[in-house]
Amino acid sequence: MVWNEKIECAPRGEMQALQSERLRDTVERVYHNNLGYRRKMQEAGLVPADIRDVNDLHKLPFTTKSDLRDGYPFGMFAVPMSEIVRLHASSGTTGKPTVVGYTRKDLNTWAEVVTRSLCMAGAHRNDVVQVAYGYGLFTGGLGLHYGTENLGAAVIPISGGNTEKQIMLMQDFGSTIIACTPSYALHLGEVMREMGVAPESLKLRVGIFGAEPWSQNMRLEIENKLKIKAIDIYGLSEIIGPGVSCECEFQDGLHVNEDHFIPEIVDPETLEPLPEGSIGELVFTTITKEGIPIIRYRTRDLTRLNYAKCRCGRTLVRMEKCMGRSDDMLIIRGVNVFPSQIESVLLDMSETEPHYLLIVEREGNLDTLKLMVEVQEQFFSDEIRQLQALRMKITHKLQSTLGISVDVKLVEPKTIERTAGKAKRVIDNRKI
């Protein structure tokens, strides 16, 4: 079911006209109601009248996470506190969190985009939705909660944790949809097995997973373990929370609710907008938000956009599943290389393990990229010729994906050091 067909299936021209109108209104509002935005626009030599339509979007200055931190707590708000009815905050790894505020209208918008997302995932009003995202300052729990109620489905506000109870309620309440982080979904699957609960015995049909990046392989694993369809939902509190975009049943990119949030793709280095289909950093501009309107927010997430109409009938632009963070980008001989691109090549091959290390060196004036990758036990034979063939295969695949040559070295399983936390994938020995 398409929740809002008029918008979600609108012809491109109509969508652009709507975006242009809303963008003009947003720019006008932030210029007059927020000192920080006005200063930034003045520094760029801009007045609201310079932004006539979506094609002028690139003229506006960017907003970053540090702008929100510097404005802590309410410096980015564009309405008086009397208009704010809800506050959320995302925890920073250091120091103060970033705070966002919602007006009544913002909460209605949020519920609308989450309801659309639920419908994209295949939900309907007869569903029982178990929301296992955390409730609280984090936007995950309450975001999914009000979207579910708005749809007319039943919500179980269990929040995160308490895994055995989650599984008990799945059995007793007949949950048909689970919403949580993908890593928690895998954990649920493992505990189910330990408890001797067969996933087939549950009514669970769909999982709506987000709040952390996850690969295609992880999707297959979750779908297999829980016997459900695993749908990717995307959002960030700075933009609204979950519901900025979501996959439909075809799992071929996430439909962006672009009548509220305009996406752009820019080069993370030059910050220039990139042509359609290029991989780059995702940037969002909110065009209906009142509490904390955000102009050209740099998400640091890497993806690309696809404006082709989807098989589901929606015309909402699709963003590819995020491929990593621009903070991780390497520039090798002038080419932008993302470790996640290399990882996806390796994950496509059955002979390698997803354990690898990238080493960047500078020899003379030339940067070189070396990849050490573990080969699966059964392929690490003594047959030099076979290993040589595998090495060539990886080299060719990387060359065609990245556009630069990579020196590939195959190593035995368990050669590359394991860490408990975030894996270290890159060693940059260049002295620049």
Q: How far is the CB of 314 from Zn ion (least distance, A)?
A: 5
Q: How far is the CB of 367 from Zn ion (least distance, A)?
A: 40
Between 90 and 306, CB nearer to Zn ion: 306
Residues 325-384 that bind Zn ion (CB under 5 A): none
From CA 37, how far away is CA 27, in angstroms rounded?
9
> ∠ at Cα 421 (418, 425), nearest 5°?
55
Residues 113-152 that bind Zn ion (CB under 5 A): none
Stretch that binds Zn ion, among 158-166, 181-189, 278-286, 303-311 (CB under 5 A): 303-311
Q: Which two tokens stand for residue 274?
A: 């990139």
Stretch that binds Zn ion, among 77-85, 304-312, 353-361, 400-408 (CB under 5 A): 304-312
Neighbours of 211 (CB within 10 A): 23
Q: How far is the CB of 318 from Zn ion (least distance, A)?
A: 7
Whether 317 contacts 345, CB under 8 Å: no
Nearest to residue 58, comparing CAs of 288, 245, 285?
285
Whether 144 contacts 208, CB under 8 Å: yes
Q: Which of 204, 248, 266, 283 binds Zn ion (CB under 5 A)?
A: 248
Between 24 and 255, CB nearer to Zn ion: 255
Q: How far is the CB of 305 from Zn ion (least distance, A)?
A: 14
From CA 27, how far away is CA 64, in angstroms rounded?
17
Q: Which of 41, 254, 305, 310 binds Zn ion (CB under 5 A)?
A: 310
Q: How far is the CB of 118 from Zn ion (least distance, A)?
A: 14
Stretch that binds Zn ion, among 225-233, 268-276, 300-308, 311-319 (CB under 5 A): 311-319
Between 120 and 266, CB nearer to Zn ion: 120
DSSP class of residue 212 equals: S
Residues 272-291 that bind Zn ion (CB under 5 A): none
Between 14 and 190, CB nearer to Zn ion: 14
Residues 312-331 that bind Zn ion (CB under 5 A): 312, 314
Stretch that binds Zn ion, among 26-34, 35-43, 305-313, 349-357 (CB under 5 A): 305-313
DSSP 138-196: SHHHHHHHHHHHHHT-EEE---S--HHHHHHHHHHHT--EEEE-HHHHHHHHHHHHHHT
Between 298 and 314, CB nearer to Zn ion: 314
- Which helix (H) or strand (E) covers residue 88, if one does? strand 84-90
* Contacts of 74 by beta carbon, 8 Å cutoff, 6+ apart: 81, 99, 101
Stretch that binds Zn ion, among 38-46, 92-100, 241-249, 352-360 (CB under 5 A): 241-249
Q: How many residues make contact with Zn ion (CB under 5 A)?
A: 4
Whether 54 contacts 262, CB under 8 Å: yes
Q: How far is the CB of 1 from Zn ion (least distance, A)?
A: 12
DSSP 311-336: TTS--S-EEPPP--BGGG-EEETTEE
Q: How far is the CB of 264 from Zn ion (least distance, A)?
A: 21
Whether 157 contacts 149, CB under 8 Å: no
Between 310 and 342, CB nearer to Zn ion: 310
* Contacts of 11 by beta carbon, 8 Å cutoff, 6+ apart: 315
Q: Which two tokens stand for residue 268?
A: 């993370």
Kindly calculate the radius of gyration of the chain based on its CA atoms and give it in whole angstroms.
23
Q: Which two tokens stand for residue 363?
A: 């020899």
Applying CB under 5 A, does 186 fall inside the site for Zn ion?
A: no
Between 309 and 397, CB nearer to Zn ion: 309
Q: How far is the CB of 312 from Zn ion (least distance, A)?
A: 3
Between 231 and 390, CB nearer to Zn ion: 231
Nearest to residue 148, comparing CAs of 174, 171, 170, 119?
119
Total number of residues shown for the chain: 432
Q: How far is the CB of 6 from Zn ion (least distance, A)?
A: 16
Stretch that binds Zn ion, among 22-30, 143-151, 240-248, 420-428 (CB under 5 A): 240-248
Between 191 and 312, CB nearer to Zn ion: 312
* Contacts of 382 by beta carbon, 8 Å cutoff, 6+ apart: none
**Chain residues in the site for Zn ion (CB under 5 A):** 248, 310, 312, 314
